[in-house]
Amino acid sequence: MRLKERLAQIDKGFWVALAISLLAIWPFLSNSSLPEGTDAELHIFRLHELSLLVRGGELYGRWAPNFYHGYGYPIFNYYAPLTYYLGLFVELMPRLDAVDGVKAVFVLGMLLGAVGMYGFVRDNWGRRAGYVATAVFLYAPYIQYIDPHARGVLPESFSFGVFPMALWSLDRVRRGGGRWAWATAVFFTTAVILSHNLMGLLFFGILFAWAIWQFAGLQMDKFASRQMPSDADLQTRKLANLQPFFALLLGLGLAAFFWLPVILERNAVNLNTLLGAGDNYDFRTHFLSLRELLTYSRRLDWGATQPKFVFNLGVPQWILGGMGLVLLMLRRTKQAAHLTFFALALGVLLFLMFPVSTFVWEATPILPFFQFPWRLLGAAAAMLAILAGAGAGSIVRRFPGSNLLAEPSAWLTAVLVALPLLFAIPLTQPTPWPDFGDVFTGRMSEIEKKGRWLGTTSTSDYIPATVEMTPRRNPDVVLPLYEDLPADRVNWVAMPEGTAVETEAVTPLFTRYLVDAPKNFRLRLFLFDFPGWEVRVDGEPIEFELGRPEGFMVIPVPEGRHVVEVEFKDTPPRTLAWIITAVSLALTLFWGWRMTPAGSRKMQDAARFTLHDRLIFASVVGITAVVIFLQPTNLLHYNSADYVADPAQTAVFVNFGDQIALIGYDVSAKQASPGDEIDVTVYWQAQRPLDIPYQVFVHLLASDGLLITQSDKLNPGEFPTRQWPLDKYVRDEHRLTLPPDLPPGEYIVSVGLWVQTEGWRLPVLDENGAQIDDKFVLSSLAVK
């Protein structure tokens, strides 16, 4: 078939799906660069490090040599690599850098999500159902804003795009698709696993459960059918329903080069830091309430250091997804058995986000590694989108008509598609970010010096298990990094007198040392020991020693002139993993070659771009154009300035020692009962650059000044005061829990700042600079 004919058969509805995605990707297209202060920054430097490895000849380097103060870090052995290699295609282009690569992958993930969700729902419930599902999915708050913008988690965000593609591809294989469907099913399954460690595990589990559900449904149909199908028909359908299993297993095998070393070498690093106990990484502190999930998204404030958002699923998502669920229960949808799987999956995901599921998290070893139950919002959004699409498809089919003006279904579809976009408008306004600046290894090392993170992880997640005591930063080691040179890892202080060492960097993971020593000695390197390092002296492999407690490599070198080579190589588990990957690739190609090519599918209706499609296309493009036009007017977002916090319920200006101003506050209640919880939010803004780390307290006091309960934080707003900008405020949330035996009466809520290490409070000053108190009373509270 000619290329022109193939292109003519492509469903023009994909253009509508891509148009639906335009508003979601617009912040990336309209803003240059990417912001600092989110996880996107980490991924930029990981991509830059990967680029150095590849440019240096290490096509799949599992070790990041310049991370962790130049001592090295095995992050690429444990962290899903797909997004970095996709970004590498962009980063390697002339005049582009790692920032452009990361941004391109963010956009690609959203586009894949649009195409995959539309394709899957269209094939099962119709084109217009696909439009609705695409809008519901892309504009779920977690997909649209929280993950890509507020958190900046590139791999997780990208996983939300490849999951619908994998689901659609597997479904096409189940329907008897040909070689192309087979190839996409296997490779997108691989992409799911390689996109993000945790989401890959979750989505692969969902895909496998879906395949089981489909196969079980076939067996049930066999026994429930009134007209017994022929043996040949049953065999054909059985084989078709087994194909997704083969694709899933081969996709798993293709990704073995990544996940098998993670499992077999898990004890080579310290993973305990990934699990918290009462802190930010403890899953118990991140459950959601039904109220949060049901709330709507509010306008963002460009004047805040961290604009307020809510971990929710979105109001239209609930309405349209709930509509699909109701129609499913009433058996008014097509493929009810198929749709039931997604309803059940949604129920499980929602259950795991509520505190009632604590016992499941505690009893399942892998779940605590997810850290944040709200991480399941992305998967839940996909399930809701499918339900919404199926329900919408059922409804619009009930409104027939002969032309555009007389067909209510076209207008109804346009309204259903527009609804998620309209509710998502507040989240289309992320705070504009300044230029990220140049990306180079010295800058990464400087960030490590400041302690914001180490090895591009905030908890030293993958530090080798041989490191008993975390070594301090050695300026001599990292100094060459500022000139884009390899780190100097020779411990010159421990070198015997008269010993000469010349260093030659063959590749980023292969260093040759030319040694001339007057006597036997130990060459001590500032390089973490880790499985895979091989040392050769004059070409002969030798056993090196471990320098305790830092975990550095120590190499015994005999007297005289010698060549010492230190190279990072594959271990037996990694070699086994590559073999499994190669075998899986060969089987994938062989199976695809043996498959009968799919016949030409009759898609005349799908290939046409009807007036109804144009109406939906025009509506989403129109909404996008209006939002883009209104953005400079500040109507769609707050833009607090001049010591005013627009979202605050009560505006004030309280001067704390000419250092920090309290510019507003919210108190959730004026009356309460014993045992109630009172939410207090205060808004701070620095009046000058701060060189002291202040702490904050919120107290509930009795009328005689007796402290009843309190909320203290080491950093107001979880943001160290020494890092506060002067042009943005800091939102600081607290919760006061009233004692269950608190007597009735009048109480006051007060707030203040202090220095914990020295025990003094910042004074509250009047207009003349005189101290009037060391706290500020926010409100009174009547307890009944």
Alpha-carbon distance of 117 to 114, in angstroms, equals: 5
pTM for this entry: 0.93
For residue 346, pLDDT beyond 70:
yes
Mean pLDDT, to the nearest integer, of 24-35? 92
Q: Rounded distance, CA 628 to CA 428, Å?
A: 9
Q: Are 471 and 71 in contact (CB under 8 A)?
A: yes
The per-residue pLDDT for 2 is 63
Q: Per residue in 377-411, pLDDT tens?
A: 999 999 999 999 999 999 988 776 555 555 677 88
How high is the pLDDT of residue 58? 95
Please give the structure tokens belonging to residue 43.
């991924």
Please, are residues 133 and 20 in contact by the beta-carbon 8 Å criterion? Answer: no
Please state at what angle helix 13-30 crosses helix 408-423, rounded to 10 degrees.
20
Query: Average pLDDT, stretch 147-174?
Result: 96
- Amino acid at the residue 21: S
3-state secondary structure of 534: strand
Q: Is the pLDDT of residue 238 over 80?
A: no
Residue 458 has pLDDT above 90, yes or no: no
90-94, 532-536, 604-608: least confident range: 604-608
* Mean pLDDT, range 737-766, rounded to an integer: 95
For residues 449-471, give the mean pLDDT: 86
Question: Quick one: pLDDT band at residue 772, thresholds 50, 70, 90?
Answer: very high
pLDDT of residue 226: 45
Read off the pLDDT of residues 299-313 as tens digits, 9 standing for 90 and up.
999 999 999 999 999
Which two structure tokens, joined as six digits, stand for 348? 């499980």
Whether residue 302 contacts residue 432, with contact meaning beta carbons closer than 8 Å, is answered with: yes
| Euclidean distance between CA atoms 481 and 475, whole angstroms | 10
Residue scoring higher pLDDT (175 or 605): 175
pLDDT band at residue 4, thresholds of 50, 70 and 90? low
Q: Tell me the C-alpha distance between 477 and 485, whole Å.
A: 11
Token pair in block for residue 238: 């059985």
pLDDT band at 223 (very low <50, low <70, confident <90, very high): very low
Number of CB atoms found within 10 A of residue 562's CB = 15
Three-class SS of 29-42: HHCCCCCCCCHHHH
236 band by pLDDT with thresholds 50, 70 and 90: low
**CA 364 → CA 357, 360, 361, 370, 762, distances in Å?**
11, 6, 5, 11, 47
DSSP annotation string for 520-584: -EEEEEEEE--TTEEEEETTEEEPPEEETTTTEEEEEE-SEEEEEEEEE---HHHHHHHHHHHHH
By CB atoms closer than 10 A (0-12, 13-18, 19+), residue 41 is buried
- Note the residue count of the chain: 784
Peptide bond into 739 cis (omega under 30): no
Q: Name the residue among 143, 141, 134, 128 with its Cα closest to residue 114.
A: 134
pLDDT higher than threshold 80 for residue 241? no
Query: pLDDT band at residue 319, thresholds of 50, 70 and 90?
Result: very high
pLDDT score of 234 more than 70: no
Q: How confident is the model at residue 220 (pLDDT cuts 50, 70, 90)?
A: low
Arithmetic mean of pLDDT, 649-668: 96
Q: 651-667 b/e with 16+ CB inside 10 Å = b?
A: ebebbbbebbbbbbbbb
Per-residue pLDDT at 555: 96
In terms of phi and psi (left: phi > 0; alpha: psi -120 to 50; beta: otherwise), the region of 47 is: alpha
Average pLDDT over every residue of 371-381: 96
* Cα atoms in the Cβ-side hemisphere of radius 13 Å centred on 719: 21
Q: Which residue has the tokens 């795009």?
A: 161
Q: Would you state the pLDDT for residue 427? A: 96
Q: If you average pLDDT over every residue of the chain, what do you get?
A: 91
pLDDT more than 70, % of the chain: 93
pLDDT the model gives residue 225: 44
Contact predicate 746/780, CB 8 Å: yes
Model confidence at 604: pLDDT above 50: no
41-72 pLDDT tens trace: 999 999 999 999 999 999 999 999 999 999 99
Residue type, 355: P
